[in-house]
Amino acid sequence: MQYELSYYLGKYRLAILVGVVLLVVLCIFVAIYSTYQASQQRRGKLPVAVEVVPRDATVKTNTGEALTSRGEAYLKPGEYKVTVAREGFASQTRDLRVSEDSTPYIYIGLAGKSKESIDWQESHKSEYQRLELLTVEKNREYNTLFKSANPIVNILPIKDPYYSIDYRNYDDKSVELVVWGTSAEKRQAALTFLRKKGYEPTDYRIQYDGYKNPLEAN
């Protein structure tokens, strides 16, 4: 039998070699085509980290897109509402902003409602704990990037008996200052304080809290 095998291998060696080469070429072509298709589908989109518990929960956006429950999803820049649901668990809907200046993610753990789902949640505590750690890590990453881009937030909020200065996230890459004062002079004093600290208030959007412009119509 070994002789017969050697005979046929020798006789059809060229055909076998050609077949192997064609198979390798086909595999390479499929890999390249799959990569190309994936890049086309992701064109104009940004990666969104996704991790939900339970893993077989459905993850959908308000635009009707079904996302993976673990790994990376790709979405066009914009604002979304993402709903995570699974039978027996309380569904959750979160706001999601996708932009080049943010680190968007969907980390959601569903709470059980039925006895079976509550028992399941109790026996999978490690998965929920891992999700909490991922969330803390992402928040730390975002805060580091945000503070690096907006160093003024490192001195805020400022509380004074006559004025206060705080901020709100404007668009993931910039802030809007929120200034409150007991009078126009005190609001001006708040701006002067920022200048003394080395920040020019006119470089920022400013919202005067509790102040109504007398020129605006009622």
DSSP for 9-62, please give it. HHHTHHHHHHHHHHHHHHHHHHHHHHHHHHHHHHTT-EEEEEEEESTTSEEEET
Q: Determine the pLDDT at residue 217.
A: 45
Which residue do the tokens 């102040």 mark? 211
Q: Which of the four CATH numbers 3.40.605.10, 3.30.2290.10, 3.40.50.300, 2.60.40.1120 does domain 44-149 have?
A: 2.60.40.1120
Give the distance from CA 150 to its chain's centroid.
Answer: 20
Which residue do the tokens 């809007």 mark? 176
Residues of the chain with pLDDT under 50: 2, 213-218
Region label for 131, one of left (φ > 0), alpha (ψ between -120 and 50) or beta (otherwise): alpha
Pair 177, 203: CB distance under 8 Å: no
Q: Are strands 163-169 and 158-159 parallel, antiparallel or unpaired?
A: antiparallel
Q: Determine the pLDDT at residue 170.
A: 80
Q: Determine the pLDDT at residue 218.
A: 44
What contacts 107, CB < 8 A, 6 or more positions away? 49, 50, 51, 52, 131, 134, 135, 138
- Residues 147-174 pLDDT 10s: 888 999 999 999 999 999 999 888 777 8
Q: Determine the pLDDT at residue 3.
A: 53
- Residues 121-151 pLDDT 10s: 999 999 999 999 999 998 888 888 888 889 9
Which residue do the tokens 């004025």 mark? 163
